[in-house]
Amino acid sequence: MKVSLEWLRELVDVHQPAEDLAEILTRGGIEVGGIDYLNQGIEKVVVGEITSMEHHPDADKLWICEVNLGDQKTTIVTGAQNLLLKDRIPVALPGTTLPNGVHIEVSKLRGVESSGMLCSTEELCLDADAGDPRSEDGIMILPTDTPLGTTMDTLFGQGDCVLDLELYPNRPDCLGMINVAREVSSLTGGELHLPAWAETEKGPDYPADPQAKIIIDDPELCHRYAGLVVEDVKIEPSPAWLQKRLKAAGVRPISNIVDITNYIMLEMGQPLHAFDRDAIAGAVHVRRAQSGEKLMTLDDAERELDSEMLLIADDEKALGLAGVMGGLNSEITDSTKRLFVESAHFSGVSIRRTSRRLGLRSEASNRFEKGVNPHGVAASLGRVAELVIELGAGKPVGFVEKISQLSEPAVVTLTVEKTNTLLGTQLTAEEITEVLKRLRFSYHEEAGAYQVEIPTYRADIAIEEDLIEEVARLTGYDRIPTTFPQGDQTQGRRTPEQEFRRKLRHLLIRLGLNEVMTYSFTRPDADRKFGDMEQAIPLLNPLREELSVMRTALLPSIMEIAARNIARRNLDIRLFELGSIYKSKERPLVQLPQEELHCAGVIWGKSPRHWTTPVTEYDFYTIKGIIEEIAREFGLELEFRVPQQAELTHPGRSAEIFLKGEKIGFMGEIHPALGKEWELERALIFELAVVPMMDASNRNIRAYSIPKFPAMHRDLAVVVPLEVSAQDVMKRIKALGGELLEQVDIFDVYTGKPIPEDRKSLAFTLKYQSLDRTLKDEEVNALNQQVLDGIEKEFGAAWRK
């Protein structure tokens, strides 16, 4: 936001120089990025009149001019060819440094002394159309009635400087001069002199125009819309003072009507747009564009619209992009006789989306995106009517308004105690009261607290902490004392979850697996097979269609990496990932989804078990061994059960994994149909929920002495029904063997003759050992018999001798 200091001084009493004011604003949280002095370099350039001209005796293209400066005369040699006698022109006297950096001194040109230089608009950094049309060919030609000796900064009103405010998104109010004036007043104590329309929310007192009907078709995107009807319009250039202020703000003057709308936008922060009333057929509609609808905007570009864009239209056609740019079919021209001036409050999100999709930015869209004051919509049109009458640009005759929703001013509670607690200060109630008065906020005290009504133009203040920030700004950040951080020091360490994840990761790496990290989103069809699509969360703005849902399983992403490696002839795949999956049944999300930590892996190819042995393929027991190592590392008692439905894994080479009766994952060889689809035939896969394992893990370490006494081994073969699980039998053997049964391993599963068809043979090795004595055969045989009797009774087992 470029702020003219001359304009600002009309709105608020400012006695400080520009540099001091910039320092005050910056200390108050409104950063000033720079100061542009508009009079720099032309304050010593004066108006002169050419009283005589003659050719240089030694150069046909040079003129020797006698110039009258009012109080003195001087001789200047020039090569300009657009000069005539009696022309009044700008003269740079010796010692002057022009805006373009050229320093003027007395010099000799072909033997003739020249005391100064005649200047062009380019050398003075003025607009090319600032002088007579003949100025385009060389020296700037001024009007014949221009007073001699007048300095150019006085003549062109350039005795001004501009503060360049670098506003943050939380202060859109300062995109209007009246709010900058309010800010300066609160920081300096200067008295305000705002236009009357800045202190009211009412619109101009004109009757409603029955022909200017407003229809808001989408109240969610347009909250308030008002229009001013002006007749007997006279399109002409704006007065010099208005053009000067627009130029200082970086806005190009166009015509009186357009300049009035731009001026009030800069003054009050409310974007406006003027339509040719005769180009509007019927009512004014605020509606969404139809998909594929086209509009020729004021920049002569035809733009294709979509249904997310908001339009201003009539009964027949589109008139403009709401809050962004008007349409060419309703622009103001020299033949315009009637106006419809728009003032509205649009959804900032809608304007931002439209502006970005079309690559079209404007001063209006910038303000709507950041937020404008909805309560200032009508009053801005009152200010339009006032300026139209003042400039003689037309006759306001009607005012019409439509409101779909209008929020009430916020009321925020502020206490002295919390203010001092947050800021670390000792401010008194009187000091905080003074801050509220300087801000011109209405308030009343209630039960030791301030109930503060926040003006609608300060949308950045919504909670008590926002008001406390205002107190800090206006009392001075330098009053906040410097304190050292305090608190109990603790030794840095990993949390139990971090330590578990670290150990699990290192264990899998020691077992020969390589860790990968993938996106948290995946393909819907892949996730549908491995995860839970009912709880999958679709992305609103996916990177691409293949990554359009948050994953509910890790395996699809790892399998894609495995398939990609195999396609590139990497034939030994051992991958795992430790990451989160995401689930929620809400559509759309209103709270954070359920996030679960999982561990998954894929193994495919051949593995050299030892350099002296031949290469062998990975099999089911490879993956089972990895899971058993995880259980052994963390003291988990995992159970392996035959899957009820094997959709992802091979029916006869897979298992579901249970912990304390709860299913936490699965493992096994991939289902042949899936393996063919992914080109991962015979791949081994697993996926585990990590949190249940972490909760059940035994983190206590118990140390035992190395046994001094020998162990005794017994083999036990039993015949059991086919449906009996070997794991259940092994678990029962451990329980029956007691403390002396150190280890149980299964080494054979057999079906076939002479075993009956409905039964199978299981063979186990039992290791008995004591830490304090040598076991006797009788003692071990008794235990072995106890084990046999127990499993015969529970499983209907028969001892196979």
Strands 222-231 and 294-296: unpaired
Strands 662-670 and 684-689: antiparallel
Kindly give the parts of the chain with pLDDT less than 70.
39, 157-159, 606-616, 699, 701
C-alpha atoms less than 13 angstroms from C-alpha of 292 in its C-beta half-sphere? 0
460 among annotated binding-site residues: yes
Radius of gyration of the chain (CA): 43
What phi and psi, each to the nearest 5 degrees, are found at residue 748?
A: -160, 135
Q: Where are the beta strands (DSSP E) in 110-182?
A: 112-114, 117-118, 161-165
| DSSP state, residue 103 | B
CATH number of 45-155: 2.40.50.140
pLDDT, tens digit (0-9, with 9 covering 90-100), for 263-286: 999 999 999 999 999 999 989 999
pLDDT, tens digit (0-9, with 9 covering 90-100), for 446-490: 877 999 999 999 989 999 999 999 999 999 888 888 877 777 777
Residue 158 is predicted with a pLDDT of 58
Residue 615 is predicted with a pLDDT of 44
Residue 39 is predicted with a pLDDT of 66
What is the architecture of the domain spanning 712-799?
2-Layer Sandwich (3.30)
Spacing of C-alpha 540 from chain mean position: 15
Residue 478 is predicted with a pLDDT of 86
What phi and psi, each to the nearest 5 degrees, are found at residue 376?
A: -105, 5
Query: Are 150 and 122 within 8 A, CB to CB?
Result: no
Amino acid, single-letter form, for residue 125: C
**Start-end of CATH 3.50.40.10 domains in the chain:** 214-403
Residue 547 is predicted with a pLDDT of 84
Give the separation between CA 368 and CA 382, rounded to whole angstroms. 20
Give the separation between CA 741 and CA 713, rounded to whole angstroms. 10
Q: Which CATH number fits domain 411-479: 3.30.43.10, 3.30.56.10, 3.90.110.10, 3.30.980.20?
A: 3.30.56.10
Q: Quick one: fold of 214-403?
A: Phenylalanyl-tRNA Synthetase; Chain B, domain 3 (3.50.40)
CATH number of 496-696: 3.30.930.10
- Helix or strand or coil: residue 506? helix
Spacing of C-alpha 768 from chain mean position: 66
Domain 2-38+160-194 has CATH 2.60.40.420: no
Give the separation between CA 143 and CA 130, rounded to whole angstroms. 10
Non-local (6+) Cβ contacts of 500 within 8 A are 634, 690, 693, 694, 697
Query: Are 200 and 457 within 8 A, CB to CB?
Result: no
Residue 699 is predicted with a pLDDT of 66
Query: Are 415 and 449 within 8 A, CB to CB?
Result: yes
466 among annotated binding-site residues: yes
Query: Are 310 and 289 within 8 A, CB to CB?
Result: yes
| DSSP state, residue 12 | B
User: Which residue do the tokens 């400087």 mark?
Assistant: 161
Structure tokens that stand for 602 in this block: 């894929």
